[in-house]
Structure 1
């Protein structure tokens, strides 16, 4: 079963994402993005896909910072990353910078279950070289 970790500062979003991902056949772990030790919790969950909110108000690290920090670690170099946000201008600006990145995608909020699962499966295929 594919391990997916969701990091967000909205508890309701985390609960919903956990339920949806499990229903769709993924092993889901959710982490409060406001935690100072969020990177340690991601490391412990050992995800194949990281779904992270671009902006987390209570944390000094934003979503892309979290993803980059995790990918600097040898065990997580191939980590697939899905950045989510309702801030469309910020997502689009970041998307242009991500053209060179392997297995990184953006998903604007709000999104549907089908959009989410397609994005996760596409990232998994990219990260495995398929």
Structure 2
């Protein structure tokens, strides 16, 4: 049973969400503000539903503090039409966003997609011929899907679960162009919608955390109109 932590000061909405998620078979905990949510975080939490507008500690500040210690997936709940909220949330390490108001069906679909991606990451490596046990290596990079840990030159990379999934996908397709549509489906678990910048923001965040190749070339190249390419190292 997956454990979901809801952090939202709208108690009426929180009670409704808890009822819906309980019915769907999830274990649910609730917090009415960011400070309480941070205090309730532990290793059993599989996913966090995080509202943006909250007293004491807003969603963005809460997300910053979460990412200092936790890589658990975060689904941001944003105001309808506030694209800036979505962009900032993704830049800070959110895995996805859902504008209010939303339907129960859409929420459950997003949650299941994120959880499915996180759970399947541990199994994917066993099916790939390039695997070496529970470790995928390429040049100076080492990925351990079972632990969701990635190293570059033996230095641990502080990646979110989505950034880890992206890097894993890229390393299984080094030197190949990957479209945004494919990344959205395979990594985010959803079809790419018009004006959806989630893939772009996650790739941008990952690119910032990866050092350049020794020759100064970036590891991830953007091909306008085509997608992304993980550049082969020499």
Task: Give the TM-score category using the shorter length.
Answer: 0.7 to 0.9
Post-superposition offset of 1:126: 3.3
Instruction: Give the structure 2 partner of residue 19 of structure 1.
Output: 19
More helix by share: 1
C-alpha separation between the residues in 1 aligned to 2:43 and 2:92?
Answer: 27
Task: Identify the match of residue 63 of structure 2 among 67, 83, 87.
Answer: 67
C-alpha separation between the residues in 1 aligned to 2:29 and 2:43?
Answer: 7
The structure whose RCO (Cα within 8 Å, separation 6+) is larger is: 1
Deviation per CA, 1:52-74, whole angstroms, max 9, x where unpaired? 11111x22x2113212311211x
- Which of the two has higher C-alpha Rg? 2
Post-superposition offset of 1:99: 6.8
The verdict on how the C-alpha distance between 1:127 and 1:65 changes in structure 2, with shifts beyond 3 A counting, is: farther
C-alpha separation between the residues in 2 aligned to 1:26 and 1:120?
Answer: 10
Aligned length: 120
Gaps of 5+ in 2: 125-234
Deviation per CA, 1:28-63, whole angstroms, max 9, x where unpaired? 111111x6443112x25841100011111x22x211
C-alpha separation between the residues in 2 aligned to 1:37 and 1:99?
Answer: 23
TM-score, normalised with respect to structure 1: 0.78
C-alpha separation between the residues in 2 aligned to 1:25 and 1:65?
Answer: 30
C-alpha separation between the residues in 1 aligned to 2:68 and 2:38?
Answer: 12
The answer on whether the counterparts of 1:50 and 1:67 sit within 8 Å (CA) in structure 2 is no
Q: How does 1:32-111 map to 2 (within 5 A)?
A: 32-33=32-33, 36-41=35-40, 43-44=41-42, 46-56=44-54, 58-59=55-56, 61-73=57-69, 76-77=70-71, 79-89=72-82, 92-97=83-88, 98=90, 101=93, 104-111=95-102
Secondary structure, in 3 states, of the residue corresponding to 1:88?
A: coil
C-alpha separation between the residues in 1 aligned to 2:52 and 2:77?
Answer: 6
The answer on whether the counterparts of 1:53 and 1:84 sit within 8 Å (CA) in structure 2 is yes
